[in-house]
């Protein structure tokens, strides 16, 4: 790896358990990769976001590619575990069962925005299909989600297509930072209200928290 940091801090001396330190780095990396993409992000930027040294990141994860794959695995795990918990909950059978379950899964998907970077890092992985390694993992993860919705949630293919399309719209609105102009552009407000519905406050709250951190 060619990335180096001339101003990197010394290796952390604080006695934090390795698993906790690993999660700290992955959370920071999710934000950095989510904002800058796989090609645009560096391990130095991840280290600065995590408040540790770049060599420490390299020692723990190796290459940037391996770090990104860990970020992708973490994001997919959070999504799939959360979906399976909702799918496993008892529900009353009925004609609108698929629609109601889709609404609950969609709400859970939007809630992932509270862990900054997860949704955008997923999107960055999905648009990196040209990369032989990252693309293969992204395709496998996307199809795992598809199979879970089909085989465990019982969604027909058309319902899965609609659900996944909504998820990609969520990601797109976040990627272009539409929440930033929610109060300024009535068309942005209209689109966001239609898209996020009862979870709009969650999205706006997460956006406001992010802006406060960077202020």
Q: Output 2 or 166, whichever has higher pLDDT.
A: 166
Give yes or no for residue 103 having a pLDDT over 70: yes
Calculate mean pLDDT across residues 127-137. Answer: 95
Give yes or no for residue 132 having a pLDDT over 90: yes
Judge contact between 69 and 22, C-beta under 8 A.
no
Burial per residue of 111-149, b for 16 or more beta-carbon CB atoms within 10 angstroms, e otherwise: ebbeebbbbbbbbbbbbbeebeebeebbeebbeebbebb
| pLDDT tens digits, one per residue of 18-66 | 899 999 999 999 999 999 999 999 999 999 999 999 999 999 999 999 9
| pLDDT tens digits, one per residue of 67-97 | 999 999 999 999 999 999 999 988 776 656 8
| pLDDT tens digits, one per residue of 7-20 | 444 455 457 788 99
Give yes or no for residue 6 having a pLDDT over 50: no
How confident is the prediction for the chain on average, in pLDDT? Answer: 90
pLDDT above 90 coverage of the chain, percent: 80
CA–CA separation, 175 vs 170, rounded Å?
9
Handedness of CA 112, 117, 123, 125 (dihedral sign): negative
Residue 124: CA count within 13 A, CB half-sphere? 27
- Split at pLDDT 50, 70, 90, the class of 3 is very low
pLDDT of residue 162: 96
Give yes or no for residue 158 having a pLDDT over 80: yes
């Amino acid at each position: 790896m060619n990335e180096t940091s001339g101003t990197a801090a010394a290796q952390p001396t604080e006695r934090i358990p390795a698993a906790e330190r690993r999660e700290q780095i992955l959370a920071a990396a999710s934000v950095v990769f989510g904002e800058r993409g796989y090609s645009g992000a560096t391990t130095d930027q991840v280290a600065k976001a995590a408040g540790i040294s770049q060599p420490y990141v390299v020692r723990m994860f190796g290459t940037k590619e391996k770090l990104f794959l860990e970020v992708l695995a973490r994001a997919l795990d959070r999504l799939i575990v959360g979906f399976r918990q909702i799918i496993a909950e008892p529900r009353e059978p009925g004609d609108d069962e698929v629609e109601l379950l889709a609404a609950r899964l969609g709400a859970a998907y939007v809630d992932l925005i509270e862990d900054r970077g997860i949704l955008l890092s997923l999107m960055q992985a999905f648009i990196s299909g040209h990369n032989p390694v990252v693309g293969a993992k992204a395709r496998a993860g996307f199809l795992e989600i598809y199979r879970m919705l089909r085989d465990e949630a019982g969604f027909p293919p058309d319902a899965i297509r609609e659900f996944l399309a909504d998820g990609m719209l969520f990601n797109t609105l976040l990627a272009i930072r539409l929440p930033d102009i929610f109060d300024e552009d009535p068309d942005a407000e209209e689109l966001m209200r239609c898209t996020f519905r009862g979870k709009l406050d969650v999205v706006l709250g997460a956006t406001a928290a992010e802006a406060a951190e960077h202020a």
